[in-house]
Every structure is written in structure tokens, then in C-alpha cells.
Structure 1
Amino acid sequence: MTATHWLFGDQLGPHFTATAAGGTPRGTDWLIIEARSVFRRRRFHRAKAHLLLSAMRHRAAELGAHARYVRAETYRAGLAEAVGDTPVSVHHPTSRAALRLLDALPQVTVHPARGFLVDRRDFARWAADHAPRRLRQEDFYRWVRTEHRILMDGPDPAGGRWNHDHDNRQPPPAGARRLDVKPPYRPREDAIDEEVRADLDRWEREEGISFVGRDGPRTFPATRREALAALDHFVRDRLASFGPHEDAVLAEDPVMSHSLLSSSLNLGLLSPRECVARAEEAWRDGEVPLNSAEGFIRQICGWREYVWQLYWHFGEDYRHANALGHTEPLPRWFLELDADAVEARCLATVLAQVRDTGWTHHIPRLMVLGSHALQYGWDPAAVTDWFHRSFVDGYDWVMLPNVVGMSQYADGGRMTTKPYTSGGAYLNRMSDLCGPCRYRPTARTGDDACPFTVGYWSFLHRHRERLAANGRTARAVRGLGRLDDLPEVLGLAAERRTP
């Protein structure tokens, strides 16, 4: 009897269709369901919708006669159309909402998650060993590298150091408008992409489904072949220069030396194991410096794995965390990705990148978009939803810890030791965004006062009692006492709920 296995839209690589031993199971039909209700519930970035649908349809075409691709209003309707009450298997999904759906379907058998290095049971044992202390990312990262023998020389980290952040926080090269590095891999669209775009046009025109942002041409891989080509290109031509400037920002070079592999990993087109193995191999072959290889590996087995585990470990109530009591609604210009409505050059530049591509790298996400939301007290649940909808690599498991925990400090420090925010001086040091801006990064009063400098001091004042008790922020809070113009700063912050 033929078995049916359901592939979600982020389970599209060969490691989701292989047996535990790595072979291809015989007598299995593959089911992929395209549910329009997903796009009715939320207003996604159109480039994100395009990438997801293109990847799903490409995978169905690759699987050929053994795949059934069902287009339905809901997952339940698609499942009923495809198999009725016949038993179906599926790998553990990446969201709590999807897991609740599967738990309510008696014919579905859920197998362990794939696409990650660390088994959840192993993480639970590690977390129990570290309770009641904070589950520090650095401790987790070292444990993962040790357990999985990643970038190790015997019992020690390769090169004698676990962490090369000191070498990887350089500002952009003086006077450079772009890094001297080959451009990233870009795929070519095909007939499936044309079909997807026509369907999205029809949905908007006839079915009332609305999107935000711009779409096309597709800039991220939608197939395993494209994802492997992107990985090859990054390791061969870009990884060597990745490390030093991974935290830097250039207005005309939004990609810098970043890999652009997050969407491929999160669609399941690449596995984390093969990505870290390629980076380590390149270092051991003398093709890339250790700090660049370690910086990239840290992003995957240190941060991506950590975020995945915390999503499940912290529980469903975590999404409602709001330790700072922030309730301001997101302004319309932010919701609409209206970069032209913003005068602050850093915000306008980054918002335009998101509008046009559905992507920007981790520093603009954290220190421009997230920092501004934190400083001006925006509702963290709304900020989380915006990041989820607006980024091609955004999923519930990705954005919930990243935004609630790290970006918005809404969990009160369960995930990170301090809020990640700054005044304009940091942005001026790590980017070229401030030079032509009408605001001055060091000014905190007057018409040319930087929204981030104003917002930073206002944020510290608003939460001074909590932050004064934090060893990592106490010194900054003490700086409030040296501001003779603090009342004026606070008044300006109140006026500038939008920049």
C-alpha cells in the first residue's frame, strides 16, 4: 500500500524526503498543499508570497508523478481533497499553529523535526543542566560545536578561540560605497515564476487578497539546485570577506558579503549541516580566514539553532511578553513600507530595502528597524508580526524570539542581557547613512536632532529604574544625570512618534 507524506512549504529539501538512513523511501507519495487562507489571514510581502509559492510548485514538479499538489482554501480542505481520511505522515512543523492543526487531525502522524542540528530532547537536557541561570547563547554555541564536532581541533576550538567577534565588528572601509566583493548569486525566473506572479495578480484583483512591498524579479533561490549554487558561490567568492564587516552597513551595498542563504535554510532547501561543513572545509583548505568561517558558522549553529530551540522552550505565552509595557501602534508609513514618507536616512534606506526585496541584513533589522520600534514604545507583538510578514526569511519560530527577546527586550531579559538600542553615534560609526541625512547623529535637541539619539535618551529615561539595576546598562542610565537638556529631549521624543 502506498503511504502519503505531507510536505509543508518550508520542508522542501531532500532531507525531508529521505529515510532516516538517507535513502529515498519506496512506495511513498508526496503531498503539498497550497492554502490561500494563509495569505488571507496576514498581509505578507509580495516577494515572500512569490518565493514560497514558487518553491512549493518547483518542488512538486521535481517530485513528478509521485507528488500531488493541491490548491485549496485551507489545509483541512486540501487534505480532505487529497486523501480523505487516509493516514498521512508529516515531519514536525515549524510553528505552534501548524502543530495545533496537526494535533486536531486524527489521521496524521507527526515525525520528529528535520532541518536543524540539535534534537529538542538533547536541548531540553542541556537547558535543564543550565537552569535556573539564563540560557546564554554563547554557552549553547560552544556546546553545539563540541557535540557536533564543528570547527574543533580535538577538545579545543579551532584556532584556540571560540569567538572571533572582536575581528568581525569593523566599520565599513573609509570612503567605500560598496565592498570590493563579487555580487551575490541571483537565480533566473522561469515559467513557474510567471504562473505564480499571474496568480498573485489575480488574487489581488479578484479575491481581495492584499500584499505589501514589491515583487520581481525573484532574487532568492526557489529550488535545491539554485540553493546549492548560491551556497557554492558564497563559499567560493564571498565568505572570505564576510567576517570583518558583517556588522557594517553601506547605503548602496545592502548585501555586503552576507550569504543570503537564510531563506533557503528556512524553506528547507539547504540543511544547516551542509552549510557549516562547507564553511569549515573552506577554512581548513586555506581558502578563507578563520574569523569569517567562524562568524558564518556562529550565525547558523550558534544563533539559528538557539532561536529554534527557544521558540519551543519558552512556550506559547512568550509571544505575549511585554515586560516594558510598550503599546504604541505601528505607524502607517512602517506598515506600508513607505520609505518616501521618512526623513531619517537610515530608516528610509533600510525600509526601501525591505520594500523592494523583503530582506535586509541583521544589523539594519536590529539596530535600525528594531531599535527605533523599541525607543518609541511600539507594541512588541505588532512588531513581531510585521517582521514575520515583511521578510522573505521570516517565520513564526524565527521572529518570535528574535523580536520579542532580542530586538524588543519584551521578555525582560530571559534571552539577552540588555536591550539592543543605541543613539545616532553608533549608526554613524558603523555605516555611511548619517552623512547626507538632514539630522545630525550627535544632536539631541533642535530641528536637526537625530531621531535615534533623541529616542535613545528617552528610552533610558522611561525605563531608568529597570535599566539602572542592570549591570550592562547602569552606566548609560547614569549618563542621564549629565543631560541639562533632558526635559527638551523628552519633549522632542514625544513630538516625534514618527520621524
Structure 2
Amino acid sequence: MSPVHWLFGDQLGPHFTATAAGGTPRNTRWLLIESKAVFRRRRFHRAKAHLMLSAMRHRAADLGGSALYVTAETYREGLARAAGTDPVSVHHPTTRAALALVTSLPRVTVHPARGYVVSHREFAEWVARQKGRRLLQESFYENTRRAHDILMDGDRPAGGRWNLDHENREPPPRGLDTLGAPAPYRPREDEIDEEVRRDLDRWEREEGIAFVGRDGPRLFPASRREALAALDHFVTHRLAGFGAHEDAMLAGDPVMSHSLLSSSLNLGLLDPWECVTRAEDAWRAGRVPLNSAEGFIRQVCGWREYVWHLYWHLGEEYRHRNALRHTAPVPPWFQELDADAVGARCLSTVLAQVRDSGWTHHIPRLMVLGSFALQRGWNPAEVTDWFHRSFVDGYDWVMLPNVVGMSQYGDGGLMTTKPYTSGGAYIHRMSDLCGGCRYRPTDRTGERACPYTVGYWSFLDRHRARLEGNPRMARAVSGLDRLGDVEQLVRAHRDAGAAPP
């Protein structure tokens, strides 16, 4: 009997089936299990569920006769049906729950993780060298660049600096509703997508499995061929314009020059090495500027790798970090992605983007969605679950550090040196989202007071004792003393409660 190797639904690229020393034999049967329990436990975005199932089924089709595709209620049931008592191998899963499952099963051998630049051993060695100091992303990124000779000129970073982020914070061009970047790659649906959509319809109709958001047409790659086409299109046509306006937001151009490759990376359709190599080669050939290549590479082998390893390093307890003691529930209008209930144009626009596509880029996630949740004092665990369910690229390992640490400051500053929140002035400077809004970004009181401006000052007042000793927040906190309407601001914010702004 041929050996069986289990491919989870985020291990779908050829680097998970490539034969390696001590790895899987060439005559291996590749097992993919479609578990309905995954979709019963969480109310996923429908486009996310569609993408996940389409990607798994496309991979099974690519593997042909060597694929064992099983639909079951649970992974355990599917494994028993497909493999019986035969030994099974699997690469290190991406979540603690999945790792706990596979290590609890008899006759299952777990191989090292694939799909990442930095190994667990390498990360542990880097941590040991920090000798108790904070595990800063900048230090990790520099170490990764050095160790793997990424964007280096000898022993120095290309261009003389490790991080060109200060060149990538340009506001959007005024007077334009689009950046003018070439359109992104978009896949074409096929008969597999039609089958997936019929199954999801039936699950909703007959099996009580519920989703949120809109589904279709599919916007992100679901096969290796599509993912490679998306990578090639981005590097060839869009990477050059990525850097300068990386942090900008435009209502009519939510994609701008962003790569849209995160879902392909997190499904395992692309290996990060492919993305890094293509971007560096484009810069060395003179086709893209350094700040664009470095900004994209930092996203892939800097931040993505850092978050992956922190997820494992910080342990399960990190999930429950809540340094600010925020306990308010995520309200129904936010859970339902009810953009039409929201009057604040920035929040309504971004919620609609998530509702319609399951995606928006990192600044709307952090400074519109996350900042609003932080100001309102929503429970960081609930916010994390919302991001996990609502985004096509959201997985437990992705969202736990990004939301609890980066977005909600739930770890009290372990990942970041300050809370990432702002008043309406930041959104006005970095976007066109304040134009035509019922609120004014500079108004703190009155009918047109911006909910982000009110929320920002109320947040600072509420956490003054904690934040006034933070060097990066002290000046902002001291600004409270110059405001004559702090009590009115706090009262207005409290009265807003869970209502949409």
C-alpha cells in the first residue's frame, strides 16, 4: 500500500508535495479532508469559504489519481475513512488546534513546517541571542535578510538602509479617485467554482451552516497556476508603483498597487521565497525602485515571518491578553458587515469592501477597523475572531498576533511601542474618505463631530494613567490638558455605546 500524506487546506502548493530527504516517498497518496465542522464552528465570510474549498478541490484535480479527497463532518472521521489504520504523515500544521489534533493521533508522523523562510530552529536561535530583550520586528527582519542574503550588497543592506518605510507613507494624490495603477490580476471561475457555490448554497439551505458577506465572482487565486499568474502580473505591472502610496487609502480604488498575494501565500499556493526572489530580481534589473521592492519584501519575509513565529513562541495564553481590560462585545452591525447602517464614510466604505470581497489592505484594517474597535473598547478576543472569519487571508496564526498585539494593544506593548489609533486627522491626511462625510475630522463636539476624533481623545483619557509614561504617547496624552471639552468628549463617546457612527 502506498503511504498517505495529509495536506491541510493551507498546504496546497508544490513545496508541500516535493520529495525531500527524510520526507515523503514519490509514490505517496495525497489526502485532502474537507471538514464541515470547520464551517460550523465559525461563521466565515462566504467568499472565504468559497476560496478555501475551491483551492482544495483545484489541488485535488491537479494531483489527479494520487489524490484522496474526502468530505466528512470532522478531520478524525475523514482520516479514519481514507487511511484506516495505515500510517500517515503531515507537515507541521499552521495552528495549535491542528497541531494538537495530529499529535494526538496514532500512526501520524509530523514533518517540519514548510512555506516559510525562517525555520522554528532558526527563530529559536535568534530569540536566544536577544538575551531577554524585546523581540522587535526590525531586529528579526535584519537578521532574516542577513541570514538568507535577501536584498543585500555584501554585508550591507541594498541602498544602505534596512527599512525604507519613511519613503512609503505618501498620502494619495489629491484630486484623483484612483492611483492609476494597472488593474490587478483576477482569475476566472470554472466548473469547480460552480460546484463549490452549489454546495455552499445547499449547506446554508439544508445543514444550517451560516455565512456572512457576499460571494462572487471569486477574486483571488484558487490554483497554483492562478497564483503564479497573479505573482507575475504584480511584479511585472504593479510592483513599481507599490512603495510610495503603500499606506494611502482611496474610496474608489481599494486595491491601489497592493499585491493581493496574501491569500495565495496563506493557502500555500505560493512559497514566500518565490515572491522575495521575483521582487529582488526586478529591482536588480532596474524595473522597480528599491523602496517598492523593499516594502514588499518586508511584508513577506519581515512581517509575515515575524507574526508566524510569534504565534508559536508566545503560546496559547497570548490569545487571552487584554491589558486594557476591554470587554465590550463586537456589536451586531459590525458582525454582519452592515456598511449601510454606518454614517461615517471611512468606516462604511471599508466595511463594504470587506462585505463585498473579504479583503481590504493593511491600513484600513489597522487604522479604520482596528482603531474603531480599540476606541470603543471591544473585547480583543472577539475582534480577533471577527478578523479571522471575515478576511480571505485570515487564519489563527495570522490574526492572533496582528489583532491582539498590533491592532488592539492587548499585550500592553509586547509587539508594538504604542497603541495604533488616531483621530480623524490621520484618515483625512492619508485618504479621500473624509470627503462627503457627514462628520468633520477636526470637530470634537457637535452634530458633525468625527467619531474617530471623539473616540481618540476619549481613549487617551480612559487610559491616561497607562499611556502618560509611554514616550511615544506622552505628548498626545498631555494634549488632554489643553482641551476644555474632555468631559463632554468622554460623555459623547460613552453615549454612543454600540451604535454605528
Do the structures match in fold with TM over 0.5?
Answer: yes
State the partner residue of 1:77: 77
State the partner residue of 1:130: 130
Distance in 2 separating the partners of 1:429 and 1:295: 21
**Superimposed CA distance per residue, residues 317-338 of structure 1 (whole angstroms, 9 cap, x where no aligned partner):** 0000000000000111100000
AA in 1 matched with 2:36: R
- The answer as to whether partners of 1:451 and 1:496 remain within 8 angstroms in 2 is no
* TM-score, normalization by structure 2: 0.99
State the partner residue of 1:316: 316
Alignment pair present for 1:301 and 2:310: no
Correspondences of 1:336-415 after superposition (within 5 Å)? 336-415=336-415
Alpha-carbon distance, 1:20 to partner: 2.3
AA in 2 matched with 1:320: H
Distance in 2 separating the partners of 1:60 and 1:131: 46
Query: What are structure 1's unaligned runs of at least 5 residues?
Result: none
State the partner residue of 1:475: 475
Alpha-carbon distance, 1:42 to partner: 0.4
**Superimposed CA distance per residue, residues 47-103 of structure 1 (whole angstroms, 9 cap, x where no aligned partner):** 000000000000001101111100000000000100112110000000001011112
Alignment pair present for 1:120 and 2:120: yes
- The answer as to whether partners of 1:440 and 1:449 remain within 8 angstroms in 2 is yes
- The answer as to whether partners of 1:15 and 1:22 remain within 8 angstroms in 2 is no
Distance in 1 separating the partners of 2:381 and 2:24: 41
RMSD: 1.0
Distance 1:296 1:21, change over 3 A: farther
Distance in 2 separating the partners of 1:435 and 1:176: 12
Alignment pair present for 1:33 and 2:33: yes
Give percent identity, aligned residues only.
Answer: 75
- The answer as to whether partners of 2:5 and 2:24 remain within 8 angstroms in 1 is no
Aligned residue pairs total 499
Distance in 2 separating the partners of 1:91 and 1:376: 40
Distance in 2 separating the partners of 1:467 and 1:478: 10
Correspondences of 1:71-470 after superposition (within 5 Å)? 71-470=71-470
- The answer as to whether partners of 1:388 and 1:396 remain within 8 angstroms in 2 is yes
Distance in 2 separating the partners of 1:336 and 1:174: 33
Alpha-carbon distance, 1:261 to partner: 0.0
Query: What are structure 2's unaligned runs of at least 5 residues?
Result: none
Distance in 2 separating the partners of 1:130 and 1:439: 47
**Superimposed CA distance per residue, residues 229-250 of structure 1 (whole angstroms, 9 cap, x where no aligned partner):** 0000000000000000000000
Distance in 2 separating the partners of 1:393 and 1:56: 15
Distance in 1 separating the partners of 2:4 and 2:341: 50
**Superimposed CA distance per residue, residues 322-357 of structure 1 (whole angstroms, 9 cap, x where no aligned partner):** 000000001111000000000000000000000000
- The answer as to whether partners of 1:318 and 1:411 remain within 8 angstroms in 2 is yes
AA in 2 matched with 1:435: G
Distance in 2 separating the partners of 1:124 and 1:478: 40
* TM-score, normalization by structure 1: 0.99
Please give the secondary structure, in 2, of the residue aligned with 1:90: strand
AA in 2 matched with 1:20: A
Distance in 1 separating the partners of 2:390 and 2:106: 34
- The answer as to whether partners of 2:3 and 2:25 remain within 8 angstroms in 1 is no
AA in 1 matched with 2:267: L
AA in 1 matched with 2:353: Q
Distance in 1 separating the partners of 2:453 and 2:462: 14
Please give the secondary structure, in 1, of the residue aligned with 2:247: coil
Alpha-carbon distance, 1:363 to partner: 0.1
AA in 1 matched with 2:239: L
- The answer as to whether partners of 2:23 and 2:111 remain within 8 angstroms in 1 is no
Distance in 1 separating the partners of 2:408 and 2:187: 34
**Superimposed CA distance per residue, residues 378-403 of structure 1 (whole angstroms, 9 cap, x where no aligned partner):** 00000000000000000000000000
AA in 2 matched with 1:454: V
- The answer as to whether partners of 1:371 and 1:407 remain within 8 angstroms in 2 is yes
Please give the secondary structure, in 1, of the residue aligned with 2:110: strand
**Superimposed CA distance per residue, residues 90-118 of structure 1 (whole angstroms, 9 cap, x where no aligned partner):** 00000001011112101111100000000
Once the two structures are overlaid, the 10-residue window that deviates more, 14-23 or 345-354, is 14-23
